[in-house]
Chains A and B, each alone.
Chain A
Amino acid sequence: MERLDNQKRSSTSEITTLPKRDYFLLPLLSFLTILVMLGASEIFTRLIWVQHKSYACVIEDPVEGDRFKPNCTERTKLAEGPWVTYSYNECGYRSITSCGPKPAGAIRIAITGSSMSQALHVPYEDTFFDRASRDLANRCGRPVDVQNLGVPGLSPIYAYRRIPEALALKPDVILYLVNPFDLEQKILPGELAERDNPTRVSSTLAAKIAPNPLRDLEHLLIQSRTVLVAQHFIFQNRETFIRTFMVYGDRADFLRQPFTPAWQQRFSDFDVILGSVAEKARAAGVPLVIVPVPSRVEAALLSSPQLPPHVDPFAFGREVEAIAAKHGVSYLDLMKPFGSIPNAENLYYTVDGHVQSDGHKVIAQELVRKLLEGSVPAFSHCAPRPSAERSQ
């Protein structure tokens, strides 16, 4: 260093003005450095962290809500996850069985909701519904057929519109998975009143279609694999993840108490929607179970020794539970089992935020426990879970 410093000092004393070429060369070098850094890091991360998207099976429908093509198969890979094959049956549901008439002696479960319901980025055999159906089939001594109507991005109002379709399957129970992100999707005034007349384009979808350069830039950054990899490592640190998530305003307000007017409105809208769903299910004599799936930040907060001020990770679930109780809907609490797992945030894909295989295992166990409790008649004859297994 002395040598380096001495030479620096001597060179400083000798040179007092830059050669003319440097006025061009130095900025050029700087610019090239940025280009090379960005390019090299992007190429490197794209080679190591492969991601593959597919839209081959998607049918976009701004009125009825997106759905999947019947009898379609596609493979995708999330950079943080494994390759996943999605196979859709003749109704476009992520199910390995037919959506035709319920097989004799079988118990049928219909699932609705968004990406959490569809088990996005999770191989079929690891999904909560496949694990649960296998376990239930063993306990009940009867086949358990699952028809998964879940579609990523399906907001509560669209999920409501799919209820008649779900009921047409003659299920023994309907599971409705919901998470804070589903409720975030905006519902315009009037849209709720016209929920049974889906003739106009949803405000959510309209917003997607409207040009927005800022959002395009954000999408460009989201698509950068370098950013994704950096975030993957940074957000493995629970404290950093929680601290930065709380930077969000409205998006994080489902954690803050008391709820903001915007979130109160969302819960009020959801109250109406869930009431209507429950009404239809009741009319058809089908039990309905609502399953609020904790988000990654809620799970992280459950493991955190210290909560930020006014933050309550149980607030969202508590509110949904109250709405469910109001409409006589069964409620599956996942916060307790998630809270009993150290570092529960590791049950999720760090950047993507969806629950991964280990998390689906926990959901499956709790779902089986809930269904065997006796609230769903179809499972009343099945063997309850042994207590030792329950605690696993």
Chain B
Amino acid sequence: MCRLFLIAPRGQARNGANNVGNASLSFLAYALAVVVIFNFSPSVAWRQFILLASSIGFLGFFSHQPAAFVPLAAFLLFGFVSLRLMQAGATRLFVPLLIVGIIAFAWFKKYAFIPPSLFLHYPYVTLGLSYILFRVLQLIIDARSRSATLLAKVSLVSYLNFTLNFTTLVSGPIQRYNQFASMQLAPDPLALNLIVAGQALHRVIVGFFKVNVLSPLLLWIHTNALHSLPPVQTSAARVLAIAAAVAVYPFYIYCNFSGYIDIVIGIARFLRIKLPENFNRPFSSRNYLIFWSRWHITLSTWLQIYVYAPLMLAGMRRWPSRATEPLLNIFALFVTFLLVGVWHGQTSAFILFGLLLGLGVSITKAYQVLMTKCMGLERYTEVSRYWLYGAAARGLTFLWCAFTMLWFWSNSTELRSVARPVRAWEIALAWIVILAGASVILALWESIREWALSFQFEDQPALASRYFRTVWDTALVVISIATITLLNAPPPDIVYKRF
């Protein structure tokens, strides 16, 4: 199970870790303290020092044993030395360093293909290592590339701030170094006025609500649906339970992950850093390729730059023909998304997850190529614009997304166990229900959204006005506080109310 996407409820339940690493009130309190201290002085040295101290302090919440940080420190040191070697022109070490880095990552993360006897057999912190890997690889590749524009030499403090930034450490987003350095190392930090602060606070509130209210609610629906599958139920109830369990999970992951991202984007803005967006209404996507350009955007962008593009380039050099280009494209997409899946977890279930992702994008691309060839680009584009086509395409995209995510909350053995009390035709019907339901509900949602945005106030949609946002945010805060309080306060004991 991927630990990186699951920020609050399952993470807490699984490892019983402290609350600071999550989108919790403790995390917000810590971030608030950092924000206040960080904004004492606009000087670069002060900002660098506070960000580094707060990131190290943040890590300190996860273990009080210095030895637990040795693997992480070793990996970071390896990254920094590799970066310096590339900047010094030792480009022949490029491939060996990349291979060593990836193997070290897999070793520390205990990937299933490595014999367990080789693992380090003491508890150590790997928090954020998956994201650190991307940042380190990115620095090494960019430093080696002649076309790269790394801002001068990366100092150790900048390197550590970039790789360990506590706002992006746990679950991203994956920022580019140049982007980070242009803000963090700029003599004049990004402006932070009342309007910006209000917008940043809005992101924090929305994210907090998603993680702490919507996520647990959706997870509760998902779990209850799974628990209501025993054979004593009617067929209709079983079909609905399967459909609910499968269809609700992507929304749960979305609320959990995008909520966390909202929070860290908001907090980082108070730290004068603009983090890249990671989600853009993924469930409104009309095909699986678009879905992945709207879901975990920084991951797909990273892979597009560092995996897909080099693969395409190498393929085109090897087979420089227009006829092979679509095939190369499909192949490059497949490999890229296979890696996306493998990166998500250490077990073989994630290889299957990657294969399904790769299959999804490859088939989508092949379909696009085929339709363009058969109908012509203009006609195909026109057909794609039909409302009914759009609704069905959205439903199908969601269906595939929900299907691939089965391997997020389960593995093949567990899925077989869940499906045991259910007949094959009931499972098939459940998928049809999901497809039909998603097509209708997502289309309705799009229409309602369009209608809601049509109301204008001060030359912008009324929903985006600060007045509406104030009301909305207040409501979310009230609901969030009430939910957290009720979920953590003891239930009423028998109180002799009458007396």
Task: Give Cα distance in the complex from A66 to B498, angstroms.
Answer: 11
Within 8 A of B (CB), among A1-37: 1-4, 7-8, 10-12, 15-18, 22, 25-26, 29-30, 33-34, 37
Point out the residues of chain B lying under 8 angstroms from A354, CB to CB: 494
Task: Give Cα distance in the complex from A206 to B495, angstroms.
Answer: 16
Total CB contacts across the A-B interface at under 8 A:
116
User: Number of residues in B with C-beta < 8 Å to the partner?
Assistant: 39
* A18 and B467 form a contact (CB under 8 A): no
Q: Any chain A CB within 8 A of the CB of B453?
A: yes
Indicate with 1 or 0, residue by residue over B458-482, a CB within 8 angstroms of chain A CB atoms: 1111011011001100110010001
Q: Any chain B CB within 8 A of the CB of A381?
A: no
> Can you name the residue of chain B whose Cβ is closest to the Cβ of A3?
B453
Q: Any chain A CB within 8 A of the CB of B196?
A: yes
* A53 and B464 form a contact (CB under 8 A): no
Task: Give Cα distance in the complex from A33 to B473, angstroms.
Answer: 10
Within 8 A of B (CB), among A185-232: 208, 222, 227, 230-231
Task: Give Cα distance in the complex from A248 to B478, angstroms.
Answer: 25
Our pick among B487, B498, B499 for the contact of A234 (Cβ within 8 Å) is B487
* B492 and A153 form a contact (CB under 8 A): no
* A245 and B491 form a contact (CB under 8 A): yes
> Can you name the residue of chain A whose Cβ is closest to the Cβ of B472?
A33
> Can you name the residue of chain B whose Cβ is closest to the Cβ of A37?
B478
* B280 and A2 form a contact (CB under 8 A): yes
Our pick among B195, B471, B488, B495 for the contact of A12 (Cβ within 8 Å) is B195
* A37 and B194 form a contact (CB under 8 A): no
Q: Any chain B CB within 8 A of the CB of A91?
A: no
Task: Give Cα distance in the complex from A336 to B191, angstroms.
Answer: 67
User: Number of residues in A with C-beta < 8 Å to the partner?
Assistant: 54
> Can you name the residue of chain B whose Cβ is closest to the Cβ of A120?
B498
* A29 and B487 form a contact (CB under 8 A): no
Q: How far is the CB of A371 from chain B (nearest CB, A)?
A: 26
Q: Any chain B CB within 8 A of the CB of A49?
A: no
Q: Any chain A CB within 8 A of the CB of B497?
A: yes
A115 with B470, Cβ < 8 A, contacts A8-B199, A8-B460, A17-B194 known: no
Task: Give Cα distance in the complex from A117 to B490, angstroms.
Answer: 25
Q: How far is the CB of A204 from chain B (nearest CB, A)?
A: 10
Point out the residues of chain B lying under 8 angstroms from A234, CB to CB: 486-487
Task: Give Cα distance in the complex from A216 to B68, angstroms.
Answer: 49
* B486 and A53 form a contact (CB under 8 A): no
* B464 and A7 form a contact (CB under 8 A): yes
* B195 and A4 form a contact (CB under 8 A): no
* B488 and A247 form a contact (CB under 8 A): yes
> Can you name the residue of chain B whose Cβ is closest to the Cβ of A153?
B496
> Can you name the residue of chain B whose Cβ is closest to the Cβ of A66?
B499
Question: In the complex, which of the residues A11, A37, A55 has the most CB atoms of chain B within 10 Å of its own CB atom?
Answer: A11
Our pick among B193, B461, B487 for the contact of A17 (Cβ within 8 Å) is B193
Q: Any chain A CB within 8 A of the CB of B489?
A: yes
* B280 and A152 form a contact (CB under 8 A): no
Q: Any chain A CB within 8 A of the CB of B319?
A: no
* A353 and B494 form a contact (CB under 8 A): yes
* A181 and B494 form a contact (CB under 8 A): yes
Point out the residues of chain A lying under 8 angstroms from B463, CB to CB: 4
* B474 and A295 form a contact (CB under 8 A): no
Q: Any chain B CB within 8 A of the CB of A240?
A: yes
* B467 and A26 form a contact (CB under 8 A): yes
Task: Give Cα distance in the complex from A200 to B491, angstroms.
Answer: 33
Main secondary structure of the interface of A (DSSP, over half): helix
Task: Give Cα distance in the complex from A97 to B245, angstroms.
Answer: 54
Within 8 A of B (CB), among A352-386: 352-354
Point out the residues of chain A lying under 8 angstroms from B482, CB to CB: 230
> Can you name the residue of chain B whose Cβ is closest to the Cβ of A223?
B497
Within 8 A of B (CB), among A112-151: 114-115
* B487 and A244 form a contact (CB under 8 A): yes
Q: How far is the CB of A13 from chain B (nearest CB, A)?
A: 10
Task: Give Cα distance in the complex from A233 to B187, angstroms.
Answer: 53
Point out the residues of chain B lying under 8 angstroms from A245, CB to CB: 490-491
* B491 and A241 form a contact (CB under 8 A): yes
Task: Give Cα distance in the complex from A240 to B484, angstroms.
Answer: 12
Question: In the complex, which of the residues A33, A222, A234 has the most CB atoms of chain B within 10 Å of its own CB atom?
Answer: A33
* A7 and B461 form a contact (CB under 8 A): yes
Point out the residues of chain B lying under 8 angstroms from A15, CB to CB: 195
* B493 and A58 form a contact (CB under 8 A): no
Point out the residues of chain B lying under 8 angstroms from A259, CB to CB: none
Within 8 A of A (CB), among B301-317: none
Within 8 A of A (CB), among B166-223: 191, 193-196, 199, 220
Task: Give Cα distance in the complex from A201 to B486, angstroms.
Answer: 36
Point out the residues of chain A lying under 8 angstroms from B490, CB to CB: 244-245, 247-248, 251-252
* A29 and B467 form a contact (CB under 8 A): yes
Q: How far is the CB of B270 from chain A (nearest CB, A)?
A: 15
Q: Any chain B CB within 8 A of the CB of A235?
A: yes
Q: Any chain A CB within 8 A of the CB of B281?
A: yes
Q: How far is the CB of B313 from chain A (nearest CB, A)?
A: 30
Our pick among A18, A66, A230, A353 for the contact of B195 (Cβ within 8 Å) is A18
Question: In the complex, which of the residues A17, A29, A38, A55 has the most CB atoms of chain B within 10 Å of its own CB atom?
Answer: A29
Q: Any chain B CB within 8 A of the CB of A351?
A: yes
* A4 and B464 form a contact (CB under 8 A): yes
* B475 and A33 form a contact (CB under 8 A): yes
> Can you name the residue of chain B whose Cβ is closest to the Cβ of A226?
B482
* A53 and B498 form a contact (CB under 8 A): yes
A353 with B493, Cβ < 8 A, contacts A8-B464, A12-B199 known: yes
A sample of 15 inter-chain contacts (CB < 8 A) reads A3-B453, A7-B460, A12-B196, A29-B471, A33-B478, A38-B478, A153-B496, A179-B494, A230-B482, A231-B492, A240-B487, A247-B490, A251-B490, A251-B493, A353-B494
Across the A-B interface, give the 3 residue pairs with the lowest CB-CB distance, nearest first: A153-B496, A33-B474, A353-B494
CB within 8 Å of B: which residues of A? 1-4, 7-8, 10-12, 15-18, 22, 25-26, 29-30, 33-34, 37-38, 53, 55, 58, 60, 66, 114-115, 152-153, 179, 181, 208, 222, 227, 230-231, 234-235, 237, 240-241, 244-245, 247-248, 251-252, 295, 351-354
Q: A33-B471, A33-B474, A33-B478 provided; 17 other pairs, C-beta below 8 A? A: A1-B280, A4-B453, A4-B463, A11-B458, A16-B191, A18-B194, A25-B467, A26-B466, A29-B474, A37-B478, A58-B498, A152-B499, A227-B486, A244-B489, A252-B490, A295-B494, A353-B492
